[in-house]
Amino acid sequence: RTLLVFDLDAPITGWQALTGSGVTPTPRRGAATAVFDGKLYVIGGLNAAGFLDVVEVFDPEQKRWERKTPCPVAFQSATIIQAHGHLIVFGGENFDDNGNIGPIGNVSQYDPVEDIWSVRESMITPRSKSVAGRLCKTNYVVTGEEEGPAPNQTPVPVPVNEEYQEDQEEDEVFTRV
């Protein structure tokens, strides 16, 4: 639960535990993380209580954590990007209708300034453990797994990648291409 930092200006020191309030308030694994406006956002994850919708933000200047509005979907193993002042969370894992852990296709958009979530159109292929990036106004979600780690299931790599382009007619609306 301790927040570790690596100072690129002093790489000889290696990884160091952050002093002060560097302990995350919610123990978890599999959270999505992003940096926005100099703050670290830790979203979702899994712990003994189950899948989490918890959003916590670390301010390194103040050395303190703050809890924000929960994500509309609890998950672990999602991917996240920053676009136009928003954080966009793609996929992850949660329980399916049979009670097994499996990938989800949810897309949630967070406005850190207003502390508001909105639900976007779901991905074509539900996936977890994917990688996302933004290039030339297009958000790419690649790789990942389309089967979860439930008993008797083998993770299956996703054979198709997806991209979401911004609709030029309406600000911050994404369509599939």
Per-residue model confidence as pLDDT tens digits over 7-52: 888 888 888 887 777 678 999 999 999 999 999 999 999 999 999 9
pLDDT score for 29: 94
pLDDT of 172 above 50: no
For 118, the domain range is 4-176
**What is the C-alpha separation between 146 and 144, in angstroms, rounded?**
7
Q: Among all chains, which residue has been given the structure tokens 């991209």? A: 163
Structural domains in the chain (count): 1
pTM higher than 0.85 = no
CATH at residue 155: 2.120.10.80
The three-point CA angle 75-163-32 to 5° equals 25
